């Protein structure tokens, strides 16, 4: 990591994280409880408590380009055990939103999966698991990863080949459309 | 038992990978006298991907389902799926903020008219039927079965928001299964994450996290794991073969939905609890159920309470 | 009336955001004000001098000072005007610092507010009248509540100085938390070796009366003349006969009871003496554990007692005493650590509290000074200490640092290596707080000489694997998760006010906070006083303290008690209720509401009238607000005086 | 509501708010807030009483009828009264009084009764900020010059 120039942190970033998450990052006193319990920590480049510290110092680019904000599983261990009742998982969520908006790649497969999932919802109103997996596999070029699973699932007759399309799917698509339209104006986050 | 009706939201996996959870939940509720009314033409809550993208979008997808449930004239929204619950619950909580609510209304173009409450089917059974009430209805007790209840990370956490059971050591499933005669192990990883939605994009993550859960349950001598979450079940059961090779251990641990086991204990037929949908063969575990009743249990089935 | 007004700058504390000159100028034009000026520091010697001189020069009959809170300096300025020859109640204060300059940033509104507060003070002062305090005799005896190290120190100091002392302790023995400790930091000397002799001194002192296994039933009266009822709980043993031989304990068949002194490690007999050095060394039967009381046939203790001291019929006894001052030294209790489900506290036998560990280390403890895993009795080789359990944790409502845990944990890590040379200790900490003589050096020794591994981070989870405990945590300096297998996990649990503190505070009429700590008179200048005259504080009941600090406070509280009771006569506060006999209709409503029974019905030529017992009246004014006739008025806070303030503000 | 937002809203013209505080808890709490430099709106003027139980409803009625836009009474927390039970009487009396305010033509939201201890500086800041905000949202009170009630009160206070 580059040396950090204190006093040159991005205070707008700190404020944006606080506004969008509704949390006060200065309440973090760096006890490390979030890091201690984080099940995904082994996949991170920065531990959760360090992400919190980086936000406190306004290190926008380091945070938004980190793998950690993308690999968080939203399991709420950090929020549950934070002695200061900071909703840490929500802060990571918000950083992920910002990372996406700012065009940082993040963990590519995680992003692709999310995109594929939401596309499925947009098309059908419900997520279609088999179709979703197909789209994701094509996008991620990881065609053979879960090959061992498919026979089991098909054998158990769990995955319908055809998606169930709800009547209100246009309405759902409308939500996505208005979201895409309003994103520039509203920033999409919590006010 | 209250004669109340609850708006029921099965969630997308209920028509796919967790078909058995949905069906056994419906059968169990019917047997316990709980009336569920399906949310008409429901849509996906957006699951983890939606709140990874944007909170208002995520809330809007949930809000549409709440709006649909208003057609039933019901405020209480129940779902078996903790992930759907979390999204709906968060949507309701965050929409207390007028600015946030306005943005959600802009997306859905359907402002909500009622004050909604979202909770899990597990909470409904635990608090409305209660373990004591359930015990009276047990026909085939699960004596002899040693189980580890695994709640997953979302169902009770954080406690200040979910307001159900204990956030670190939940006991609701344990108490219900105990009432059904099963022996419950003091499983310490009840709320540890299984890897959640990372199953598809990062199988290695799930192998590691779910592996730890399976490994500990095995080493404690559990005959099976019991879960209340479709995603957990998929990771622990469907991916068990992958996990076995990843952590180089040879365990075969069936992973039941609690609704299936309670259904079994209530004497529900196989076509309502669909044990054959489980990937890891549950027969060796089920064989441990002692057919001979212990002397302290009456030979006659408990008196039926009219549903 | 000729009024002088003095507006204080308080350096820049007030002057920075209040136009002090303008306030003084405006005050000069207020009714009956003949002199108004500003002063750099009104409370300083020249400041007070100036007030005295002005009183004489302008023949002032009343003074208003606008400065800090009256809770800070009202007494100071009352003495000033008294020196200048005025009655001390011909004085009013306007609080333009705490209530104005420190909470508002804009000079404009601040100045307006200051002027209005001064006008209110002037208008009230115009209705003030001279009040004369009465002299009251004081009882030269002190009550000390709580026989921990702070209470012991306070008792001994008072008794040494010649005062009679009554010491009340709720447990069967004095000694408090310190008597449970094995060693003390940073000297590692034996706790009972230094406390024991002090306990004996208490027992032997001719001027100390000890009521052990007793509680405060009620407190009435006021400074110099408190009447206290003490409940001596039934021990079911006649302590005059009991010699403390211990034969009953040996013979008692009910042995598997919760051992309170040993924090639940090991077990206790239903009849018990908590520890060998107990003062008094007398047996107590716990009815809930005793077979006889559970309706079973027993009475074995009575059969074997060589002096016939056992008395299953004994009842609680109430004793009434008169004292002039009270020292509360009720100490602390451990906070509830079982709320930490992630540590498995209360579920896993080998996860224990620091206080349990002290009992384990103690040679007179249940394990004879051997460290053993409660689950299987084996000697632990890997011991993990978790600091800040129920301290610095706003999420469970305990945001404060308990202050002593860092130090006792270092001590326990040292003692662990001392007892088991091939053991390894791990200490999970957030920050090491070790201000104090030799304290920081001590924590360094734990690491450098005793090899304790300090890990900067918190523990997220403890769970059993095989017969070991897995401790998962973070090392934030490393920036990674860490895991260690432990045989024993010791939680450095923080403290909170004693569980009975709130009830006692209500009896003593002192304030307490949400953590159960008593509120001192002033956080800096009155650390052992309370807002109730004649009631003082010592030790951890005011806020957590280590031993040297508790002892110092015990001595400080004793000094305050001695200073108070060194006078034969005390002055009563003349701000009491007065009855206007002509207006009183004898309805008796004031008698009903008075919390102090300070009003009684008196017969005046065949008519019933209220009469105030001035010595008993505490000046709350409840009667004044209740009286339908306005016949009973609280001096210095009469209806007219308060309404004058309202009117000064709204209809200037 | 965030405290800073109300503080910055102090640009609005000041309204007249009278506070009756007990000496032992709330007045101390207001002092603690000052010592902690917890910035508050400046509208409030505090009158110190020995106990919240000393608050004669007459004081409040008179203040409101003489043009106060709000009245705040604050005492010790329940069970934590310097005079054992003064705050208990205050609460009973003032709750009844609040019910009567509409009769006097006063919006009951203009009067509040709270508890703040001497150590709760931050709580005091919150109480003052919230109450001031509430009064500002109600706006200046209707003045009642020569109201018969006022005359009656003036006489009975005599």
Residue C20, domain CATH: 3.40.50
Cα–Cα distance measured from residue C453 to residue C447, given in angstroms and rounded to the nearest whole number: 6
Domain end (from B79, B95, B121): B121
H/E stretch holding B306 reads none
C133-149 pLDDT tens trace: 989 899 999 999 999 99
Residue B254, domain extent: 131-286
Question: Which of B190, B239, B197 lies closest to B217 in space, CA to CA?
Answer: B190
Cα maximum dimension of chain C: 91
DSSP 8-state secondary structure symbol assigned to residue C248? H
Strands, DSSP E only, in C195-297? 208-211, 214-222, 225-232, 257-258, 267-268, 271-272, 284-285
Q: Is the peptide bond before B213 cis (omega within 30 degrees of 0)?
A: no
Candidates C341, C460, C469: best to mutate against B (most CBs of B within 10 A) is C341
Beta-carbon contacts of C324 under 8 Å, excluding residues fewer than 6 positions away, are C138, C139, C140, C141, C142, C223, C224, C225, C226, C534, C564, C565
Report the residue from D57, D66, D83 with minimal CB separation from C650.
D66
Q: Which residues of C touch B189 (CB under 8 A)?
A: 463
C181 part of a folded domain: yes
Mean pLDDT, rounded, for C533-559: 97
* Interface touch C624/D54, C-beta < 8 Å: yes
Mean pLDDT of chain C: 95
Residue C618, domain extent: 577-635
C625-647 pLDDT tens trace: 999 999 999 999 999 999 999 99
Beta-carbon contacts of C568 under 8 Å, excluding residues fewer than 6 positions away, are C137, C138
- Note whether C481 contacts A: Cβ–Cβ < 8 A: yes
Would you state the pLDDT for residue A147? 58
Give alpha helix (H) positions in C403-466. Answer: 405-419, 439-448
Residues B100 and B178 placed together within one structural domain of the fold: no
Candidates B9, B10, B12, B278: best to mutate against A (most CBs of A within 10 A) is B12
Judged by average pLDDT, the poorest of A180-184, C13-17, C431-435 is: A180-184
* Nearest chain C Cα distance for residue A52, angstroms: 12
Which is more confident, C530 or D4? C530
Size of interface A-B (CB pairs under 8 A): 191
- Note whether A79 contacts C: Cβ–Cβ < 8 A: no
* Interface touch C341/B189, C-beta < 8 Å: no
Question: pLDDT band at D101, cuts 50/70/90?
Answer: confident
A111 pLDDT higher than 50: yes
Number of domains into which chain B is organized: 2
Which 8-47 residues of chain B touch chain C by CB within 8 A? none
Angle at B26 between CA A164 and CA B82, to 5 degrees: 75
Neighbors of chain B by Cβ distance (3+ pairs < 8 Å): A, C
**Residue C207 contacts residue C284 (beta carbons within 8 Å):** no
**Residue B228 contacts residue B257 (beta carbons within 8 Å):** yes
Query: How do the domains of chain A map onto residue ranges?
Result: 11-101, 108-183
Which is more confident, A129 or D85? D85
Residues C263 and C160 placed together within one structural domain of the fold: no
**Residue C498 contacts residue A69 (beta carbons within 8 Å):** no
C488-518 pLDDT tens trace: 999 999 999 999 999 999 899 888 888 999 9
Count CB neighbours of A155 within 10 A. Answer: 9
Residues B194 and B225 placed together within one structural domain of the fold: yes
Would you state the pLDDT for residue C414? 97
Q: Which residues of B touch A164 (CB under 8 A)?
A: 15
- Note whether B301 contacts C: Cβ–Cβ < 8 A: no
Q: What percent of chain A has pLDDT over 90?
A: 51
Judged by average pLDDT, the poorest of A82-91, A142-151, C327-336 is: A142-151
**Residue B29 contacts residue B1 (beta carbons within 8 Å):** no
C135 part of a folded domain: no
A153 pLDDT higher than 80: no
C378-431 pLDDT tens trace: 999 999 999 999 999 999 999 999 999 999 999 999 999 999 999 999 999 999
C608 part of a folded domain: yes
D4-25 pLDDT tens trace: 333 444 456 899 999 999 999 9
Give alpha helix (H) positions in C205-316. Answer: 247-251, 300-304
Burial class (CB in 10 A: 0-12, 13-18, 19+), A156: middle
Residues in chain B: 307
Report the residue from C430, C461, C476 with minimal CB separation from A37.
C461
Which 295-354 residues of chain C touch chain B by CB within 8 A? 340-342, 344, 347
Mean pLDDT, rounded, for C356-362: 97
Number of domains into which chain C is organized: 5
C113 part of a folded domain: yes
**Residue C518 contacts residue C145 (beta carbons within 8 Å):** no
C185 pLDDT higher than 90: yes
Q: Which residues of B touch C464 (CB under 8 A)?
A: 188
A17-73 pLDDT tens trace: 999 999 999 999 999 999 999 999 999 999 999 999 999 999 999 999 999 999 999
Residue B43, domain CATH: 1.20.1050.140
C449-486 pLDDT tens trace: 999 999 999 999 999 988 999 999 999 999 999 999 99
Cα–Cα distance measured from residue A28 to residue A31, given in angstroms and rounded to the nearest whole number: 8
Mean pLDDT, rounded, for C440-454: 96
* Interface touch C463/B219, C-beta < 8 Å: no
Cα–Cα distance measured from residue A19 to residue A191, given in angstroms and rounded to the nearest whole number: 7
Residues C373 and C521 placed together within one structural domain of the fold: no
Query: How do the domains of chain D map onto residue ranges?
Result: 13-157
Residue B211, domain CATH: 3.40.50.11810
B296 part of a folded domain: no
- Note whether A86 contacts C: Cβ–Cβ < 8 A: no
Neighbors of chain C by Cβ distance (3+ pairs < 8 Å): A, B, D
- Note whether B159 contacts C: Cβ–Cβ < 8 A: no
Would you state the pLDDT for residue C196? 96
| Cα-to-chain-centroid distance, residue C530 | 8
Sign of CA dihedral D24, D30, D31, D35: positive
C130 part of a folded domain: no
* Interface touch D16/C650, C-beta < 8 Å: yes
Domain end (from B74, B90, B121): B121
Report the residue from B60, B100, B242 with minimal CB separation from A175.
B60
Residues C614 and C544 placed together within one structural domain of the fold: no
Is residue C236 left, alpha or beta, with left meaning phi > 0 and alpha meaning psi from -120 to 50? left
Q: Which residue, chain included where needed, has tokens 């100071």? A: C76
Strands, DSSP E only, in chain D? 17-22, 44-49, 70-75, 111-115
C520 part of a folded domain: yes
Would you state the pLDDT for residue A191? 32
Question: Which of C147, C311, C155 lies closest to C215 in space, CA to CA?
Answer: C147
Q: Mark the ranges of chain B whose per-residue pLDDT is less than 50.
A: 1-2, 299, 302, 305-307
Beta-carbon contacts of C632 under 8 Å, excluding residues fewer than 6 positions away, are C577, C578, C579, C580, C584, C590, C599, C610, C612, C623, C624
Residue C507, domain CATH: 3.50.50.60
CATH annotation of D13-157: 3.40.50
Question: pLDDT band at C359, cuts 50/70/90?
Answer: very high
Would you state the pLDDT for residue B202? 81
Residues B163 and B209 placed together within one structural domain of the fold: yes
The token duo for C293 is 């009381």
| Cα-to-chain-centroid distance, residue B254 | 16
Count CB neighbours of C182 within 10 A. Answer: 21
Q: How far is CA C31 from CA A9, C1, C651, in A?
A: 58, 9, 14
**Buried/exposed C238-275: b ≥16 CB within 10 Å, e otherwise:** ebeebeebeebbeebebeebebebbbbbbebbbbbbbb
| Cα-to-chain-centroid distance, residue C490 | 28
Q: What percent of chain C has pLDDT over 70?
A: 100
Residues in a beta bridge with D73: D20, D113
Cα–Cα distance measured from residue C178 to residue C175, given in angstroms and rounded to the nearest whole number: 6
**Residue D84 contacts residue D77 (beta carbons within 8 Å):** no
Report pTM.
0.86
Q: Which residues of C touch A42 (CB under 8 A)?
A: 481
Would you state the pLDDT for residue B291? 66
DSSP 8-state secondary structure symbol assigned to residue B303? P
Domain end (from B121, B144, B162): B121
Residues C149 and C103 placed together within one structural domain of the fold: no
- Note whether B219 contacts C: Cβ–Cβ < 8 A: yes
Residues B216 and B107 placed together within one structural domain of the fold: no
B189 part of a folded domain: yes
| Cα-to-chain-centroid distance, residue C586 | 41
Question: pLDDT band at A78, cuts 50/70/90?
Answer: very high
Would you state the pLDDT for residue B15? 85
Would you state the pLDDT for residue C616? 84
């Amino acid at each position: 990591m580059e040396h950090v120039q204190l006093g040159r942190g991005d205070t707008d970033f700190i404020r944006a994280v606080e506004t969008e998450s509704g949390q006060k990052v200065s309440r973090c006193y760096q006890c490390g409880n979030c890091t201690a319990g984080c099940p995904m920590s082994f996949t991170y480049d920065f531990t959760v408590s360090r992400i919190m510290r980086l936000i406190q110092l306004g290190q926008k680019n380091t945070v938004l380009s980190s793998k950690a904000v993308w690999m968080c599983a939203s399991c709420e261990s950090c929020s549950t055990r934070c002695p200061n009742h900071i909703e840490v998982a929500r802060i990571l969520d918000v950083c992920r939103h910002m990372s996406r908006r700012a065009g940082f790649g993040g963990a590519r497969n995680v992003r692709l999966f999310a995109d594929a999932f939401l596309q499925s919802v947009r098309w059908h109103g419900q997520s279609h698991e088999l179709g979703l997996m197909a789209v994701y596999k094509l996008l991620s070029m990881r065609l053979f990863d879960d090959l061992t699973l498919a026979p089991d699932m098909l054998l158990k007759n769990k995955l319908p080949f055809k998606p169930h399309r709800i009547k209100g799917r246009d309405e759902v698509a409308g939500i996505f459309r208005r979201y895409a339209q309003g994103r520039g104006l509203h920033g999409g986050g919590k006010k | 038992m209250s004669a109340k009706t609850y708006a029921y939201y099965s969630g997308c996996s209920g028509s796919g990978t967790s078909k058995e959870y949905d069906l056994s939940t419906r059968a169990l509720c019917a047997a316990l006298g709980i009336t569920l009314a399906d949310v008409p033409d429901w849509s996906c809550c957006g699951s983890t991907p939606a709140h990874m993208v944007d909170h208002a979008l995520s809330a809007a997808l949930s809000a549409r389902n709440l709006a649909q449930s208003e057609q039933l004239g019901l405020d209480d929204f129940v779902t078996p799926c903790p992930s759907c619950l979390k999204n709906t619950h968060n949507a309701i909580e965050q929409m207390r903020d007028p600015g946030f609510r306005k943005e959600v209304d802009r997306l859905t173009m359907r402002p909500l008219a009622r004050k909604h409450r979202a909770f899990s089917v597990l909470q409904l059974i635990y608090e409305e039927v209660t373990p004591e009430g359930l015990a009276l209805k047990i026909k085939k007790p699960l004596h002899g079965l040693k189980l580890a209840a695994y709640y997953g990370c979302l169902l009770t956490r954080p406690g200040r928001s979910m307001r159900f059971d204990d956030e670190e050591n939940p006991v609701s499933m344990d108490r219900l299964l105990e009432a059904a005669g099963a022996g419950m192990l003091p499983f310490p990883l009840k709320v540890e994450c299984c890897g959640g939605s990372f199953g598809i994009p990062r199988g290695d993550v799930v192998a590691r996290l779910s592996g730890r859960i399976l490994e500990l349950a095995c080493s404690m001598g559990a005959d099976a794991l019991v879960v209340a979450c479709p995603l957990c079940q998929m990771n622990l059961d469907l991916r068990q073969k992958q996990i076995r090779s990843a952590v180089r251990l040879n365990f075969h641990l069936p992973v039941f939905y609690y609704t299936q086991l309670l259904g079994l204990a209530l004497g529900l037929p196989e076509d309502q609890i669909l044990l054959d949908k489980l990937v890891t063969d549950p027969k060796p575990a089920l064989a441990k159920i002692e057919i001979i009743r212990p002397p302290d249990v009456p030979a006659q089935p408990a008196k039926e309470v009219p549903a | 009336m000729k009024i002088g007004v003095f507006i204080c700058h308080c350096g820049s504390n007030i002057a920075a955001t209040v136009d002090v000159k303008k306030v003084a100028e405006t005050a000069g034009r207020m009714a009956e004000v003949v002199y108004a000026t500003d002063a750099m520091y009104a409370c300083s010697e020249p400041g007070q001098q100036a007030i005295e001189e002005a009183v004489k020069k302008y023949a002032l009959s009343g003074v208003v000072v606008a400065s800090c809170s009256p809770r800070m300096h009202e007494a100071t300025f009352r003495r000033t005007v008294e020196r200048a020859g005025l009655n001390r109640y011909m004085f009013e204060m306007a609080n333009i610092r705490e209530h104005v300059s420190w909470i508002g940033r804009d000079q404009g509104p601040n100045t307006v507010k200051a002027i209005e507060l001064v006008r209110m003070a002037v208008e009230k002062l115009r209705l003030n009248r001279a009040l004369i305090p009465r002299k009251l005799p004081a009882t030269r005896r002190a009550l000390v509540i709580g026989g921990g190290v702070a209470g012991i120190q306070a008792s001994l100091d008072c008794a040494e100085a010649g005062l009679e002392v009554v010491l009340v302790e709720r447990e069967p023995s004095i000694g408090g938390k310190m008597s449970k400790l094995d060693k003390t930091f940073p000297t590692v000397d034996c706790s009972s070796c230094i406390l024991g002799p002090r306990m004996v001194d208490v027992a032997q002192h001719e001027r100390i009366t000890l009521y052990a296994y007793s509680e405060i039933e009620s407190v009435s009266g006021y400074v110099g003349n408190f009447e206290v009822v003490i409940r001596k709980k039934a021990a079911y043993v006649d302590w005059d006969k009991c010699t403390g031989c211990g034969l009953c304990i040996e013979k008692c068949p009910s042995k598997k009871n919760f051992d309170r002194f040993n924090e639940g490690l090991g077990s206790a007999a239903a009849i018990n003496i908590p520890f060998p050095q107990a003062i008094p060394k007398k047996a107590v039967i716990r009815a809930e554990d005793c077979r006889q009381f559970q309706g079973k046939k027993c009475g074995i203790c009575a059969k074997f007692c060589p002096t016939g001291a056992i008395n299953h019929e004994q009842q609680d006894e109430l004793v009434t005493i008169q004292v002039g001052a009270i020292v509360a030294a009720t100490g602390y209790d451990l906070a509830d650590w079982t709320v930490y489900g992630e540590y498995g506290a209360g579920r896993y036998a080998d996860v224990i509290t620091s206080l349990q560990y002290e009992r384990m280390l103690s040679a007179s403890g249940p394990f004879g000074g051997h460290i053993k895993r409660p689950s299987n009795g084996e000697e632990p080789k890997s011991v993990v200490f978790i600091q800040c359990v129920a301290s610095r944790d706003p999420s469970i409502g305990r945001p404060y640092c308990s202050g002593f845990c860092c130090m006792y944990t270092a001590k326990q890590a040292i003692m662990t290596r001392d007892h088991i040379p091939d053991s390894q200790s791990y200490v999970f900490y957030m920050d090491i707080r070790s201000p104090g003589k030799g304290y920081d050096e001590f924590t360094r020794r734990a690491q450098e000489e005793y090899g304790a591994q300090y890990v900067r981070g918190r523990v997220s989870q403890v769970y059993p694997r095989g017969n070991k405990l897995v401790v998962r945590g973070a090392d934030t300096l490393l920036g990674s998760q860490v895991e260690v297998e432990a045989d024993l996990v010791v939680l450095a649990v923080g403290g909170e006010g004693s569980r009975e503190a709130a009830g006692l505070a209500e009896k003593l009429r002192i304030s307490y906070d949400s953590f159960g700590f008593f509120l001192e008179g002033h956080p800096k200048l009155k650390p052992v006083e309370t807002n109730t005259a004649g009631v003082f504080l010592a030790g951890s009941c005011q806020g957590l303290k280590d031993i040297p600090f508790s002892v110092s406070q015990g001595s400080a509280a004793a000094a305050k008690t001695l200073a108070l009771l060194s006078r034969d006569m005390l002055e009563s506060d003349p701000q009491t209720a007065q009855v206007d006999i002509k207006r009183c209709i004898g309805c008796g409503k004031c008698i009903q509401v008075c919390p102090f029974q300070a009003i009684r019905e008196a017969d005046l030529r065949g008519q019933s009238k209220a009469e105030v017992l001035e010595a008993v009246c505490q000046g709350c004014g409840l009667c004044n607000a209740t009286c339908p006739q306005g016949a009973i008025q609280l001096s210095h806070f009469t209806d007219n005086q308060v309404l004058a303030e309202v009117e000064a503000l709204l209809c200037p | 509501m965030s405290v800073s937002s109300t503080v910055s809203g102090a640009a609005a013209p000041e309204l007249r708010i009278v506070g009756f505080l007990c000496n032992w808890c709330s007045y101390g709490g207001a002092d603690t807030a000052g010592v902690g430099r917890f910035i508050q709106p400046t509208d409030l003027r505090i009158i110190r009483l020995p106990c919240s139980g000393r608050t004669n409803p007459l004081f409040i009625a008179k203040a409101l009828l003489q043009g106060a836009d709000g009245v705040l009474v604050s005492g010790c927390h329940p069970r934590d009264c310097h005079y054992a039970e003064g705050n208990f009487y205050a609460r009973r009396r003032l709750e009844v009084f609040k019910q009567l305010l509409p009769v006097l033509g006063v919006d009951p939201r203009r009067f509040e009764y709270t508890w703040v201890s001497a150590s709760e500086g931050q709580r005091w800041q919150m109480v003052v900020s919230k109450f001031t905000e509430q009064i500002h949202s109600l706006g200046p009170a209707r003045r009642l010059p020569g109201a018969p009630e006022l005359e009656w009160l003036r006489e009975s206070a005599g």
